Structure 1
C-alpha cells in the first residue's frame, strides 16, 4: 500500500519540463485538489439544472427508466441496444420517483467524478498544482457542462473512461498489482457497455503505452484486458449493429465538423480557443517517456486526439460521428494545457534564476498559482454567456413541455391528437397529464406494448377513418408541420387535414408547432 506523501513545495517547472515526471502519490494537498475540482464541477452542473423541459432524447431515457426490467430488455431487443445498460441503471435510479431534474442528477455526479479524475491524473503525473488547473479548466468548458446536465449516458461514459485511464496509470507504475489491471478491465468494459464507442479510449491507451515504451509484459497484460473487454462487449455489438438505422440521420463530416469539434473541446470563444491551443502546444513539448512510466503528455495527447480522429475518419465511409460520442476526449485538453502552463512557468523561472542567482523574489514564488488562476478565469468569464445559454430550453432541439402546455391550455373533452410524424409522441409520453382525455387516434400499440420508444401506428386506412370521426384534432409536429420524405403515414394524415379540416389556431414553440384543426365537412 502506498504511504501518502504531501508535497512540501510546488514542483519546479524545470523539473517537469526537462526531466521525466515522477508519479506523485495523492497526499493531502493532492486530495484537496481533487475535492476542489469535484466541487467546482458539481457547482457548474447543478446550476440551472431545471431547464423547464425535456427534449426527445431525454424523454427516451425518462420513459425507458420507468419501465420494468423485462420491459426494458424487450425494448432494447428492437431499439436502443447501445443504451441498454444505461437504461437499466436509470431504472433503479428512478425507482424512488422523481421527474426530469432528478433524471439529470446522475450526469452531474458523473461529471463531478470526471473532474476529480482529471485533477487526480494531473496531480499524479505532474504536480498537485497542475492537477488543480486541469480539473478546474475541465469543469468550466461548456461542452462538459452541457452533457453534465443531460439525462443521457455521455457524462457517465466520460467518468468511467477516466477511471479506466487512472487504473492504467497505476497498473503501469506497479505491473505486479493485479487489482489495477482488474480495475482497468472492469472500467473499460463498463464504459463500452454504457456506449460502444468508449472502446476508442482503448486505442488511445494502446498508443500511450507504445509512446511510453513500456515493457513487453505491460503490453501483454493490456492486450489481455482488451480481449476480455471485446469478448464481453461482443453480444451487445452484434445486437446494436442490427439497429444501425437509428443513426441514419448522421451525415459525413467535413472540415467544418473538425473546426466545430475544436471549438467544443476548448470553448466556442475564439480567444479562449487560442489561449488553450497555445498552452496545449506547450504541453506537447514536455516529456513523453519516463523510463517505462507514463507521463502526462503521453496519456493526454492520444486521449484527446485519437478517439475523435478515428471516428471522423470512419464516418467518411459510414457516418456515425457525433461529438457527444467522444465527450471523454475533452479531458486531454486541460491536462495538456496544465503541462503547458508548467512548462512556460519553468522556462520563465529558470531565466529569472540566471539573472538573479542569489534568490528569487517572493512574488515570483506565487507566479505559477497566479497564472493558473488567471487562465482559469480567462477560460470561464468569456464563456459565461454560453454557460447561461445552455441552461435555457433553447439549448436543446425541441421544447416538449412547451408543446404540452399549449395542448393542455386549449384542449376540450373529446378532442383528438395526432403526432406528425409519430416520433413527436414524445411530448405526450413525457408530459401525459397535458394530454389526459385526448385520444391518440393514430396509435395502435403503446410503446410498452410495442417494445419500442414511440409505439406503433394503425394502418393508413384506420387512421383516416378515425380522423374523419373527430371534430377537433390537435396536431403536434416540427415547425410548419413539415413532413419529410419517408414519413408516409404523416403525409396521409396531412392530406386528410387539408381536405376535411381547417386550422383555427397555431402556436410555435422551440422546435415544434402545435396546431388545432376543426372539421369543415
Structure 2
C-alpha cells in the first residue's frame, strides 16, 4: 500500500516541471494578445475563412478550424487565441519529443526555450497557420519516434495522418517527409516487411494530401517559376547574392531564440554576435554527444534537411515564418548541448544560462513594447470616424483581396478599390489619369499608401490632380527594417 502511494506521488511530481512551463507559456502567449492590429496576412486569413472551405485548397485545415472558431467570436484576441492553443500544444509536444530522444532534462529545457522564444510567441499570436503547422510537425515526428522504437501499424498510421494534416496546413512542412523516409529506411533497411508496411501508410498519407496537393501544384507553378527565375537572374548578376550568406544562415539561431530585431548599438551587436557563437557551440556539442547520439541525429535531420531544401529552392522562401517548423528541432539540439555542458561544467552552464536569459528577455521586452504589425485597425478607425457619404477608398497596398479583408475593421459605406497608384516612386502619368477617371465621380478620396510615399511625394505625383486635405502616418517597426510606414491621405479633386 505504501509502495503504491509512493509511486502515485512520484507520478504526479514528475508532471510539476512541465506544468509550470506550460503555465509560464500560457501567460506569455496570451499577454497583449489583442493589443496590436491585424497585419495584412492575418486579414487575408479571416477573409479566406469566411468563404466556402474544402479540402481542395492549398491550406484547408487551418481555414476549416478558423471558420469554426469564428462562430464563437470575431475579436482580434479571440481569433488569435486559436493559434495560441496550438502554440501551447507545441510546447508540450517538444517536451515529449525531447525527453524521448535526449532525456527528461533536455525535454524540459527545450520546452522552456520554446515557451520563451519571442519569435515563436509572435507567430503563436497571429491569425495564421504557422503555430498549427509547427504543432503538427512535432506530432508527426513524435509518431515516427514511436514507429522507430515499435513499428506497429497504429504508430505508422498516426505518423501518416499527422503528416497529411501538416501538409494540408503548411505545404513547405512537407520537406520533413524526406528525413522521415531516410531515417526509417536506414533504421529498418534489413527488414523488408516493415519497410513495406511503412510504404503503405506513406501512400495513405499521400492520398489524404492529394486534393490539397493538386490545388497547390495548379496554383503555384507560376510562383515557383518566378522564384527560380529571380534566383537565376541574381546568380547571373552576382553570385554573392544568389543565396543567403553563411552568416545569415547561422543568424537564424538568434532569430529562433532571441528575436530578429536590429541591434540598437555597437555593444549590443557585439553581444549578440557572441551569443550566436555560444548557440553554435551548444548545437555542435549536442550533436557530438555519445549517449543516444543516434536519436539526436534524427533531430539534426529534421532541422537541417528541410532547411537546406528550402534554402536551395529560393532565397524568397528563406524567411522565419516559413522556417518556423524546424525551430523546435534546433531547440532540442541546443537543450541537449546545454545538458552536456551542465554535466561537465556547472559554472560554465550557469554563465551560458544567464547570457541566454538576458538575450531572450531583451527580445521579449522588445516584442511586447514595440509596434511590429501594420496598423490597419488605426487606419479603419480614422476613416470610420470622419468619413462622409460619397467617399471612396483606394488601397495601394496588399492584393485585390484586401478590398474585402479590410471590412474586418472598416464598417462604413465607402466603396473600396485596389489600385497601384502610389506603390512605386515613378507613376506613369497616363496610367494615373486612367485610374483616377475610372473612380469618377469623386467627392473625397481616401488613399492608403506604404513605406516612402510621404506627403512630399504625394504632392509630386498627384499635385495637379488631387488636393491633399489631411494625412496620417502609421509607424510599423518591422523585424528587418526600421520605420516601415503606412500613409493615409484624405484628398479631393483639384
TM superposition score normalised by structure 2: 0.78
Map 1:371-386; keep pairs closer than 5 Å. 375-386=352-363
Counterpart in 2 of 1:501? 466
Q: Which runs of 5+ in 1 are unaligned?
A: 9-25, 349-366, 444-458, 483-492
TM-fit CA distance, 1:421: 4.9
Cα distance in 1 between the residues matched to 2:417 and 2:434 = 9
Quickly say closer, same or farther: Cα 1:53–1:433, change in 2 above 3 A: closer
Match of 1:390 among 367, 370, 378: 367
State the match for 2:314 in structure 1.
Answer: 315
Q: Among residues 81, 99, 103, which one is paired with 1:105 in the alignment?
A: 81
Contact 1:164 1:183 in 2 (8 A): yes
Q: Tell me the CA shift for residue 222 of structure 1.
A: 3.5
SS in 2 for 1:125: helix
2:137 to 152, 161, 173: 161
Out of 405-414 and 97-106, give the one that drifted further. 405-414
- Please identify, of 248-257 and 83-92, the stretch whose mean Cα deviation from structure 2 is larger: 248-257
Distance change >3 Å, CA 347–CA 432, structure 1 → 2: closer
Partner Cα distance (1:500, 1:335) in 2: 59
Structure 1 residue 469, shift from structure 2 partner:
1.6
Question: Cα offset for 1:376?
Answer: 4.9
- Correspondences of 1:213-224 after superposition (within 5 Å): 216=191, 217-224=193-200
- Note closer, same or farther for the CA distance 1:321–1:342 as it changes in structure 2 (3 Å cut): closer
- Does 2:50 match 1:66? yes
What SS does the aligned partner of 1:308 have? Answer: helix
Does 2:281 align with 1:278? yes
Offset of residue 333 of structure 1: 2.0
1:430 deviation in Å? 3.5
- SS for the counterpart of 1:302 is helix
Q: Can you give the 5+ residue segments of structure 2 that lack an aligned partner in the other structure? A: 232-242, 260-271, 420-430, 476-484
Q: SS of the counterpart of 1:394?
A: coil
Distance in structure 2 (CA, Å) of the matches to 1:377 and 1:439: 55
Distance 1:39 1:303, change over 3 A: farther
Taking a change above 3 Å as real, the CA distance of residues 189 and 377 of structure 1, as seen in their structure-2 partners, is: farther
Q: Distance in 1 between matches of 2:184 and 2:14?
A: 25
Count of aligned pairs: 439
Partner of 2:163: 188
* Match of residue 239 from structure 2: none
In the alignment, structure 1 residue 52 sits paired with structure 2 residue 26: no
Q: Which residue does the alignment assign to 2:486?
A: 512
Distance in 2 (alpha carbons) for counterparts of 1:99 and 1:313: 40
Structure 2 match to 1:340: 337
- The alignment status of 1:90 with 2:81, answered yes or no, reads no
1:169-188 to 2 correspondences below 5 Å: 169-175=145-151, 177-188=152-163
Cα distance change on mapping 1:37 and 1:220 into 2, 3 Å: farther
User: CA–CA distance in 2 between the matches of 1:84 and 1:460?
Assistant: 38
Question: What's the CA shift for 1:283?
Answer: 0.8
Aligned residue runs from structure 1 range 1-400, under 5 A? 28=12, 30-67=14-51, 71-73=52-54, 81-175=57-151, 177-209=152-184, 216=191, 217-244=193-220, 245=222, 252=231, 253-255=243-245, 257-268=248-259, 269-287=272-290, 295-315=294-314, 319-347=316-344, 375-391=352-368, 394-396=371-373, 398-400=374-376
CA contact (8 A) 1:49 1:391 kept: no
Any conservation in 2 of the 1:34–1:131 contact (CA below 8 Å)? Answer: no
Kept in 2, the 8 Å contact 1:204–1:302? The answer is yes
* Aligned-residue offset at 1:287: 3.2
Quote the offset at 1:261 in angstroms.
2.6
Q: Deviations over 1:104-125 (max 9, x none)?
A: 1121111111111111122233
2:425 corresponds in structure 1 to none
Following superposition, the deviation at residue 189 of structure 1 comes to 0.7
> Would the aligned equivalents of 2:402 and 2:418 in 1 still touch at CA under 8 Å?
no
- Could you say if the C-alpha distance between residues 197 and 435 of structure 1 is closer, same or farther in structure 2, counting changes exceeding 3 Å? same
Provide the TM-score with structure 1 as the length reference.
0.74
Residues 1:48 and 1:160: Cα distance change in structure 2 (over 3 Å): same
Q: 1:405 to 1:109 in 2, by over 3 A?
A: same
Q: 2:442 is matched with which residue?
A: 470
Equivalent pair of 2:133/2:325 in contact (CA under 8 Å): yes
- How far apart in 2 are the matches of 1:241 and 1:188? 18
State the secondary structure of the residue aligned to 2:126: coil
Partner SS for 1:468: coil
How far apart are the structure 1 equivalents of 2:60 and 2:254?
A: 31
Distance in 1, matches of 2:205 and 2:367, equals: 35
Residues 461-508 of structure 1: per-residue CA shift (max 9 Å, x gap): 9964453321211111223449xxxxxxxxxx9999554321122212
| Secondary structure in structure 2 of the residue aligned to 1:152 | coil
Residue in 2 that maps onto 1:489: none
1:209–1:100 Cα change, 3 Å? same
